[in-house]
Amino acid sequence: MSMQTLAGGVTVSGTVEAREEAAVGAELSGYRVARVLVEEGDMVSRDDPLATLDPALLAGEIARAEVAAERARSEYARVADLTGKGVIADEAIAQRRFEARSADAQLADLRTRRARLTLRAPVGGLVLSRALRPGDISGVGTSDPYFRIARDARFELVAEVPEAEFGRIALNQKVPVRLADGTEL
């Protein structure tokens, strides 16, 4: 909080805050942070990668799921043309079709999880904070967001102006703002 003088000699105290802030966390827990790609103060665009989680835990699962899906599709393909011919029960054919669909769905789920190992910026803007380090485990021990981003790097001064001073200021009036470090905007 700092004291500011508005045009016309009106001094107010207030805070500079992000107009709109986006919080970024991991959708998956239990994965080690492999790399952090941005720091506080960096500008990012929407969908820019902010950090990556280690894919090692998923790699084996995906490989096994690919084999299982391929096998299930192959088994279904061998009997698909036999529906209604009495060679094999239609229920057995339907069962193989469902097993193939289930294996494909499981594989798709794992691939979606792999894509979510990269934390991406939901909006473009200025990175306000980073609470993530390489080696951290995602989703463990924190409810705070890993990154906070000021959308479009837009900020506003939130201040209280005494009612008696309203006549000395106007809507959209340009005013100098002095930050706590002495920087004037």
pTM over 0.75: no
Q: Which segment, 120-124, 131-135, 166-170, is predicted with the most confidence on average?
A: 120-124
Structure token digits, residue 133: 């380090």
pLDDT band, very low/low/confident/very high, at 1 (cuts 50, 70, 90): very low
Exposure string (b/e) for 79-108, b if CB count within 10 Å is 16 or more? beeeeeeeeeeeeebeebbebbeebbebbe
Position 124 scores a pLDDT of 97
**Residue 157: which of 18, 42, 9 has the closest Cα?**
18
SS3 of 4, please?
Answer: strand
Give, rounded to a whole angstrom, the gap between the first and last alpha carbons of the chain: 15
pLDDT digits (tens, 9 = 90+) for 85-108: 666 777 888 899 999 999 999 999
Q: Which band of pLDDT confidence, cut at 50, 70 and 90, is reported for residue 178?
A: confident
pLDDT in tens, 44-94: 999 999 999 999 989 999 999 999 999 999 988 888 776 666 667 778 888
Q: For residue 38, what are its two tokens?
A: 């941005």
Q: 67-71, 108-112, 156-160, 167-171 — which is least confidently predicted?
A: 167-171
Residues 17, 155: Cα–Cα separation, whole Å? 5
